[in-house]
Amino acid sequence: MNTRLFFDQLSEHIDCFQALKLMEPEILRAAKELTATLESGKKILICGNGGSAADAQHFAAELVGRFEKERASYPAIALTTDSSALTAIGNDYGFDRIFSRQVEGLGQKGDMLLVISTSGNSPNIHEAVRKAASMGMQTIGLLGRNGGGLKGEVGCPVIVPHAPVKDPGS
């Protein structure tokens, strides 16, 4: 086991959490926008690739289920969960449209699209954001590193300026 890698990653995680304090205005703005969407009776669509797809599913599950206390269910859909839709859209339209096509079919004016992307440069996420904006949906991006191209495309970017520690043995 590479103990140096473990402690380097632990240190990076601590630094990342400390940086969140400085991001309070952006985090509060995103929370207010999400709350306003739900209070207006609209829904939240969420997407991401890879680990961000798992995060999208977890986020949606917490909204539909419960988080910390009993409450009414909130309308949220992770666009990463329907393997039939993902593969059919990917096959018929291309991977770049797997989320935008779902946004088109499931989203409505006033809904929210929440995208999660470490790089901020995934073409399929860009397509989804553009489709959502054209439909009158609000957009929030939970982004890593420098936010990539999405920082200028989403209505509310929340950028965690963190680059993962690389394993020197890989």
- pLDDT tens per residue across span 73-83: 999 999 999 99
pLDDT at 167: 45
Dihedral angle over CA of 8, 13, 16, 17, nearest 10: -140
Structural domains in the chain, sorted by start: 25-160 (3.40.50.10490)
> Nearest-CA neighbor of 99 among 80, 77, 72, 122?
80
- pLDDT tens per residue across span 133-155: 999 999 999 999 899 999 999 99
> Nearest-CA neighbor of 155 among 96, 115, 98?
115
Radius of gyration of the chain (CA): 17
Residue 59 has pLDDT above 90, yes or no: yes
Distances (CA, A) of 146 to 24, 30, 76, 83: 17, 18, 27, 31
pLDDT at 3: 80
- pLDDT tens per residue across span 81-136: 999 999 999 999 999 999 999 999 999 999 999 999 999 999 999 999 999 999 99
